[in-house]
A = this chain, B = another copy of it.
Amino acid sequence: MKTVLAYGDSLTWGSCPETGGRHPASHRWPDVLAAALGDSVTVITNGLRGRTTAYDEYLADCDRNGVRILPTIINTYAPVDLVIILLGANDMKPHICGTAIGALQGVRRLTQIAKNHMQGLSNGHRAKVLIVAPPPLVESDDPEFRAMFDGGIEESRKLASLYEKLAREMDVAFFDAGTVAEASTLDGVHLDAENTKKIGVALAPHVKKLLAV
């Protein structure tokens, strides 16, 4: 049995841009991926709304800094064989980070942790890493989202090429979710059911290859 940790934000939790609630499990990309991978792989959905790559924020009653929590999450699900990192959208908020280069550096640190974290097992088990670039932000009619992500559309479009270069630099896998899915114009950030499902479908062959299943 192999374990895949899907470490992300609201795109992984499954925020529905229409209702503001959560997509049913069957529409979330980690569940779609799990269905495609079959019974020999467990996919852990770990998506926290508002999670940043590596930046503090105190705007919700929980720790949203992806770097500070990742070691706890890996240990909780150890042995973890693959960590899929799908983060960066929340970094586009100017009051959090505001730049693609800032998100890049957060993902670099997350990748270092995921690759090197000792999982507390006698055999020195370590995880592989797959970096996924989020679909770029798009124009929307929601004025608070527009203000909250001011300048984010342009910056978010830089993420895929930056993350791809990082993956090569660190010798981990990469996938650009923007090649198969796009954000909803309802809020400019989140994915409707069809688009979140597409990510799960598209990741399946990559994960199978990485896990050799």
Judging by beta carbons under 8 Å apart, are B76 and A48 in contact? yes
Looking at A60-68, A81-89, A175-183, A190-198, the stretch in contact with chain B turns out to be A60-68
Does A122 sit at the interface, judged by CB under 8 A?
Answer: yes
Question: With contacts A69-B63, A109-B60, A118-B112 known, is A101 near B147, CB below 8 A?
Answer: yes
Binary contact track A1-45/B, C-beta < 8 Å → 1, others 0: 100000000000100000011101100000000000000001000
Identical copies in the complex: 6
A142–B148 Cα gap in the complex (Å)?
30
- Contacts A56-B58, A95-B105, A99-B147 given; 20 further ones with Cβ under 8 A? A20-B122, A22-B78, A47-B76, A48-B72, A48-B76, A49-B75, A55-B95, A56-B56, A60-B109, A60-B120, A61-B112, A61-B113, A61-B118, A62-B72, A62-B75, A63-B68, A63-B71, A94-B102, A101-B144, A112-B118
**Structural contact, B106 and A59, CB atoms closer than 8 A:** yes
CB distance from A148 to the nearest CB of B (A): 5
**Count of interface residues, chain A, beta-carbon cutoff 8 Å:** 60
CA distance A20 to B104 in the complex (A): 19
Report which A residues bind B (CB closer than 8 A): 1, 13, 20-22, 24-25, 42, 46-49, 54-65, 67-69, 71-72, 74-76, 78-79, 93-95, 97-102, 104-106, 108-109, 112-113, 116-118, 120-122, 144, 147-148, 150
Would you list 6 pairs from A and B whose C-beta atoms are within 8 A, ordered by A residue?
A: A48-B76, A49-B120, A55-B95, A58-B109, A95-B97, A105-B148
- Contact of A61 with B71 at beta-carbon distance under 8 Å, contacts A76-B48, A101-B95 already known: yes
Asked if A22 contacts B60 (CB within 8 A), the reply is no
